[in-house]
Structure 1
């Protein structure tokens, strides 16, 4: 498909009531309901370094609680509650690579089998708890969720960042935010949302394209900062070239090049999340940066920290919108809003059984937004804002002189 028209005609479910003064139809918002299941796929839980300390860690995800630990370089994930008497394994300890319950010291292996009961002659033969597939990649840890209980397929890949093995790049600068009262889909919608970069992030995009295929959804964007806004965000007053791609439902990698002050600053952003329940999620984001010539590793780390702080400003701007907006399953769109419905169809594949994934959800789809009209109007708005700001500054500057003259 190459046009948004069919999307607007077919995708929008219009509920109308003839109640307006002019007799026209009033469009009602279809809020729908959040999905009752959690997305199939890999979900990042955080940095490996935060879990690789010889201790069990609690993680509330997919509407349940897990215990996560690392032993002998291997990631291990189980249901958090001991199948003996319900003790919280995440409050226990690691013994011989197994997690030991703090209640009665029952030991559990990574495969979910009971490794032993210290005070008993033998462990129950059928004693088993739920084990979750895990993976270490990019100095991060991942858990795989499948409501059908299938193992992760070999062709579902999280790309590996070779940059993390290079002394020319920094390590991760990392942050996380808990988002309450909002479903994960809200953040996914941003993949196609060109206009919000101008109004929410104070960036002026002049090139914007989406490509969806298989389990990948990509956004290609070139932009520059708005000269009428002083707030520094990740998009700032630099020129930015960005390729952001989701690999599965919850993990995005975003190589960026920012041109500022004659320098080209190369960074890779990761933006990932996992659901706590159907109406809240943990949003995590981190940055690695290529060390520019002439900078020490320490200076580069400080640069990455500053860039991450700017990204946090951008995420908090989104969070403020999510906190107050309504869920909307029938958005009323214009052509420049991009392929919202196509993106949601792509995203739906992670919430249905594998047998129910359709070709429409995974087939290659490309759409480039014509930014001509948007950029034209935005530049007019920017110039008007600059003019008004200059008038205010001139008026403020003249106020003391007027006061002294009287």
Structure 2
């Protein structure tokens, strides 16, 4: 018996899964804390479908090269830093940070063609970045990484930092969160009260106010009704977000700067990194302030784990079916596309200023009904259930 004669109707929406891009995003990508690389050792980074080596030359400059020696393929990340260069463990060829071979200890001269790929490297705000461009063009000044005045200030802590390899999904899933208002309620368990996006040139911003949900248990206390959150998050390019965030609850407030960044390993995997610095409240000791920064970073990490669980089990959708309150998903993806085409192929709709504020009246009224029902059901539930 046929239970639904319309099950295979032409009106049924089909998912277009598309394909992952065949190139990696053009732009600055954060590799992590700079102090990690200032230790006198070479570091291997698997990124952009290849392997890189990051090392500190004698003058303290961080450099990034392709990891595999152009001579016979030795892995420079297994080599030794010698002066301003890195020596291959196979035949001791010495490579400078600009990609030129500096010396071949057993040879009379260095071949004129002895060059390897050098990656533009930037150290800023206690972090290290490398520039990727499939056409190997240098980074323009207009897409520089902003200086964070808070970093290095006596009023703020140092970074608390974490990272995670996310496999089985493309990093576009992470970018979609910029406009995804509704998932904050269902995945991250806070209720947005204001949500706006602004895109312009290489920058995409999300402005959000939110409250805690009184129907969610938080530790031993029932609900997080008193929680107030103000968030201003901006992507500078395709992979580096700075998120200023203020949390207030019970008459106390804390202010932090959170970093959300990633770099692709393959078209279907990426390294997700996050960290935070916190502003020291009056009378707060350094240890207390550092604990607050760690708490900020941990809360961001907990949120990411909720997202990662979704990403690992969802499918790619190039043609999402949207309602009015879903926000400018397609506009964000057009903005994001600028990093996957040559600069000469960027069109105005990718970079022109675009603003959109989500109308939250319907969502909030329906959420209030849902939360009230949840709390009533919880009160009626037998103890221990």
Structure 2, unmatched stretches of 5+, are none
> Is residue 203–residue 223 contact of structure 1 (8 Å, CA) maintained in 2?
yes
- Output aligned runs, 1:7-406, within 5 Å: 20-21=6-7, 23=9, 25-71=11-57, 72-231=59-218, 238-392=227-381, 395-396=382-383
- Decide whether aligned partners of structure 1 residues 36 and 24 sit closer, same or farther in structure 2, where only a CA change above 3 A counts: closer
> Is residue 257–residue 264 contact of structure 1 (8 Å, CA) maintained in 2?
yes
> Is residue 32–residue 327 contact of structure 1 (8 Å, CA) maintained in 2?
yes
Shift in Å at residue 261 of structure 1?
Answer: 2.0
Tell me the SS of whatever aligns to 2:141: coil
| CA offsets 1:239-295 (integer angstroms, 9 cap, x no match) | 000000100000000001111221221100000000001000000000000001111
Shift in Å at residue 372 of structure 1?
Answer: 0.4
| CA offsets 1:34-91 (integer angstroms, 9 cap, x no match) | 0000000000011001111111100011101000012223120100000111000001
CA distance in 2, matches of 1:190, 1:279: 18
- Decide whether aligned partners of structure 1 residues 236 and 61 sit closer, same or farther in structure 2, where only a CA change above 3 A counts: farther
> Is residue 93–residue 102 contact of structure 1 (8 Å, CA) maintained in 2?
yes
> Is residue 228–residue 248 contact of structure 2 (8 Å, CA) maintained in 1?
yes
> Is residue 202–residue 236 contact of structure 1 (8 Å, CA) maintained in 2?
no
Tell me the SS of whatever aligns to 1:163: coil
Matched residue count: 377
> Is residue 335–residue 350 contact of structure 2 (8 Å, CA) maintained in 1?
yes
- Decide whether aligned partners of structure 1 residues 19 and 339 sit closer, same or farther in structure 2, where only a CA change above 3 A counts: farther
Which structure has more helix as a fraction of its residues? 1
CA distance in 2, matches of 1:49, 1:20: 61
Match of 1:5 in 2: none
TM-score by length of 2: 0.95
Shift in Å at residue 19 of structure 1?
Answer: 7.3
> Is residue 19–residue 26 contact of structure 1 (8 Å, CA) maintained in 2?
no
TM-score by length of 1: 0.90
Structure 1, unmatched stretches of 5+, are 1-17, 400-406
| CA offsets 1:176-226 (integer angstroms, 9 cap, x no match) | 111101101000000000000000000100100000000000000000111
Q: Over aligned residues, Cα RMSD in angstroms?
A: 1.7
Shift in Å at residue 23 of structure 1?
Answer: 4.6
